[in-house]
Amino acid sequence: MKLGLSIPNFGTPRSLISLAQAAEASGWDGLFIWDHVVYRKRADQEMVDPWVVLGAIAASTERIKLGTMITPLSRRRPWKLARETATLDHLSRGRFVLGVGLGNPPDADFGDFGEVSDGRTRAAMLDEGLEVIVGLWSGAPVTHQGEHYQLEDTRMLPPALQTPRIPVWVAGVWPNRAPFRRAARWDGVVPTKKSGETFERMTPEDVAGMKTYIDDHRPANTPYDIVISGWTGDDLPGAPGTIEPFASAGATWWLEATPGSPGWEHEVRARIGAGPPV
């Protein structure tokens, strides 16, 4: 199992770059950044653009995987994102991962800007947008006439560095099934769990059931990542015991994830310095 971190796009650009460099120096395998424009309308919350910061992180690290966790594709033009991600893939020498999903919350991140907030429409834009992006990553001419996006005989060079493509991890809320049928078509899944209106942590039993469902819908037997988030910073000696059941259930990544509450950067920096649980 690979061990990484999922951090908010809060604070200053230099602080996030410093966290990434510290993570690499401490032996972590990856660092992934949230992609919010605003966060729950908190007027006092300083935020950064994750894509600009990821470019700086790619240029100032050598080994760790990096990416967004996650990017709501419906608010991005696919061809613009295709160019940005291919550039990051080259800048990082093939360490970039694209995490995508519908995004949340729909009002603050979408509706308040006059963008589409309806979940079904954003899901359709996600599926269609990924089709366009992957086509453009190939470096071959792409013509696409869809419901939401159109382009004619368009080619982008250079192609993405990684083959057969940049890994695409797709978010979904378990136990809803549709997001996991979507995720099964790509390279990994980033699950959360919801009971009624309340988000909950995934359990190893949830992961095992989800993995079975995804395996049943995978179109090919290719490498596939299951990315689980949690927090072991309050019990470092017990961290391996917390994580191992998820690995046994089929998870391939564990991300230490903070809710972004006040003092989060100090907590994450301390967790980074303690090193990954091995």
Confidence of residue 232 (pLDDT cuts 50, 70, 90): very high
Full domain range(s) for residue 89: 70-166
Inter-residue long-range contacts of 134-139, CB under 8 Å, 24+ positions, other chains counted: 134/165, 134/168, 136/78, 136/79, 136/82, 136/83, 136/86, 137/82, 137/85, 137/86, 137/165, 137/166, 138/165
Q: What is the predicted pLDDT for the residue at 45?
A: 82
Count of domains forming the chain: 1
Across the range 149-166, mean pLDDT stands at 98
Range with the poorest average pLDDT among 72-81, 98-107, 116-125, 251-260 = 98-107
Query: Which one has a higher pLDDT value, 104 or 152?
Result: 152
Question: Is residue 96, in this structure, part of any structural domain at all?
Answer: yes
Question: Is residue 110, in this structure, part of any structural domain at all?
Answer: yes
Percent of the chain with pLDDT over 70: 99
Percent of the chain with pLDDT over 90: 83
The predicted-structure confidence for 57-69, as pLDDT tens digits, reads as follows 999 999 999 999 9
Question: Is residue 235, in this structure, part of any structural domain at all?
Answer: no
Question: Is residue 218, in this structure, part of any structural domain at all?
Answer: no
Residue 206 is given by DSSP the state H
Q: What is the predicted pLDDT for the residue at 44?
A: 78
Question: Is residue 91, in this structure, part of any structural domain at all?
Answer: yes
Mean pLDDT, the chain, rounded, equals 95
Q: What is the predicted pLDDT for the residue at 43?
A: 63
Prior bond to 272 cis, omega within 30? Answer: no
Pairing of strands 198-200, 188-195: antiparallel
At residue 165, the 3 state secondary structure works out as coil
Q: What is the predicted pLDDT for the residue at 21?
A: 99
